[in-house]
Amino acid sequence: MDELPLPAMFGALFVLLILSGIFSGSETAMMAANRFRLRHAAQNGHRGAKLALALLSQTDKLLGLILLGNTLFNAAAATLTGYIALALFGESKWALEIGTLSITFALLVIAEISPKVICATHADRLAPLLSYVLTPLLRLAYPIIWFVNLFVTALLKTIRLSPGSMHGESKLSQEELRSLVLESSHLMPKKHQTILSSLFELTNITVEDVMTPRGQIEILDLDLDWTEVRTQLATSHHSRLPVCRESLDQLIGILPVRRLLASLGDPEFDEAALLQQLQAPYYIPAGTPVFSQLAFFQENRQRIGFVVDEYGEILGLLTLEDIIEEFVGDFTTSLPGLGNSLNWTQEGQVIVEGSRPLREINRMLGLNFPLDGPKTLNGLILEHFQDIPESDVSIKLAGIPVEILQTKDRSVVTVRIYRP
């Protein structure tokens, strides 16, 4: 080593530091790479991504290779630094201290911090490229790594850890996956993000959360005068109507109104002709998850069903459109005269019907009324008072000021909500 000139030793030291930095940066790049992007690239035929995934599937061997190379080059660099210090300062007592400080500084700057920062910043791009180098090196150094890992495995077992657990696929929970979608807002349109986020909520809500309550269902009562029945059919804005006698407790079936449009002008069109067009009602047990009901609609080729409780009493009406609108957003045409949207006024208030579902109010106004109890604003107010409240009463529900404007019979008709 004394025969080598100082420039050659400095050049060799620089090469050793660069090689050490490559192994140090490789560890950061491989560990920081987004596995979902690697898997997507691998599915599209990217060979580097396939090699990277193969290396990451055997993390203990990959880390063994990287640390083996990093340690060897660091040790060689430290030894060479000692020779350089001796060549520059002789056998002075300061040679060792100067050499130690110099190699420590060089390792930190050139072989550790700089390559790690670079590889952490561009991990997704560098991991597939580095895999082309690491894969053949792993095959060459496999006997050494296998021998070293024998001792690593034995040490891990003494502290009751299994290295085999590192080979498993990392699985995201539903909430973690939802957070991933929300954090990817810059990668997709706002509408797409909203739809994906809403899909995760379908497993947490039931049919009662999205159904039309019983009191708001338009029915076709056959006990009415036949002229009134024909008038209702001619003016109805629904494509399907529940047909019953007196009330939904005597439900007969579902009438596809469009099939009868051509027959309404026929004088011979009577109740018997109408009954021939009825479809059997489809019932949905209360508490059914919305996502499951979507699958049931598909399997049974249904688009509309009645939600019933444990006693068979009809609680509300659920359509396929109700479920789709829950995660896509409102797209059906509102009935004439009925405002469907809610917006704050300049004074920070809005008038809302008591029958409005709480989920809809929260979504439109950005509020956080509790959803684990009553489904409508009227139900939430009645639960708070444990009685039918009077009008002109103000309360706070979940920290949100609410003023009761009108009550009728046993329910709250309209309220004014103030922006909290």
CATH code of 361's domain:
3.30.465.10
Please give the pLDDT value at position 111: 83
Give the rounded percent of residues in the chain with a pLDDT score beyond 90: 6
DSSP structural state of residue 383? H
CA distance 62 to 55: 6
| CA 68 to chain CA mean position, Å | 40
Query: 132 with 35, same domain?
Result: yes
Give the pLDDT score at 285.
Answer: 92
Q: Residues 70-95, buried b or exposed e (16+ Cβ, 10 A)?
A: beebbebbbebbbbbbbeeeeeeeeb
Q: Are residues 247 and 281 in the same domain?
A: yes
pLDDT digit string (tens) for 333-388?
444 444 467 888 888 889 988 888 888 888 788 888 888 778 888 888 888 888 77
Residue 402 lies in a domain: yes
Question: 141 and 193 share a domain?
Answer: no
Does any domain span residue 342?
no
- Give the mean model confidence (pLDDT) for residues 74-93: 76
Domain co-membership, 183 together with 264 = no
Mean pLDDT of 177-198: 67
Residue 51 belongs to a domain: yes
Cα 315 from Cα 305, distance rounded (Å)? 11
- Per-residue pLDDT averaged across 21-30, rounded? 88
Separation CA 6–CA 228 (nearest Å): 108
Same domain, 20 and 120: yes
Question: How many residues make up the chain in this entry?
Answer: 420
Query: Using an 8 Å Cβ cutoff, are 271 and 296 in contact?
Result: no
pLDDT at site 163? 59
Quick one: how far is CA 326 from the chain centroid? 15
76 and 133 share one domain: yes
**Within a domain: 339:** no
Q: Residue 96: which of 87, 86, 106 has the closest Cα?
A: 86
- If asked whether residues 360 and 318 sit together in one domain, one would say no
Q: Is residue 335 part of a domain?
A: no
Measured CA to CA, the distance from residue 353 to residue 123 in angstroms comes to 53
39 and 144 inside one domain: yes
- Are 192 and 308 found together in one domain? no
Let me know whether 43 and 79 are in one domain.
Answer: yes
pTM assigned to the model: 0.56
What domain count does the chain have?
Answer: 4
Least reliable range by pLDDT among 138-142, 167-171, 371-375: 167-171
What is the crossing angle of helices 6-32 and 123-140, to 10°? 110
SS3 339: coil
> Which carries the bigger pLDDT value, residue 134 or residue 239?
134
> 131 near 102, Cβ under 8 Å?
no
Contact by Cβ (8 Å): 274, 255: yes
Q: Is 338 helix (H, G, I), strand (E, B) or coil?
A: coil
- In this structure, what token pair is assigned to residue 168? 């498993």
Residue 1 located in a structural domain: no
What lies within 8 Å, CB to CB, of 418 at 6+ separation is 348, 349, 400, 401, 402, 403
- Domain endpoint, select from 180, 201, 222: 201
Task: Look at residue 286 and tell me if it is in a domain.
Answer: yes
Residue 104, domain extent: 6-167
Q: Does residue 221 sit in the same domain as residue 289?
A: yes
* Single-letter amino acid code for the residue at 235: T
Distance CA 120, CA 157 (A): 31
Task: Please state the rounded mean pLDDT for residues 149-173.
Answer: 69
DSSP class of residue 307 equals E
Task: Say yes or no: 131 and 230 in one domain.
Answer: no
Q: Is residue 338 part of a domain?
A: no
| DSSP assignment letter at 333 | P
Percent of the chain with pLDDT over 70: 85
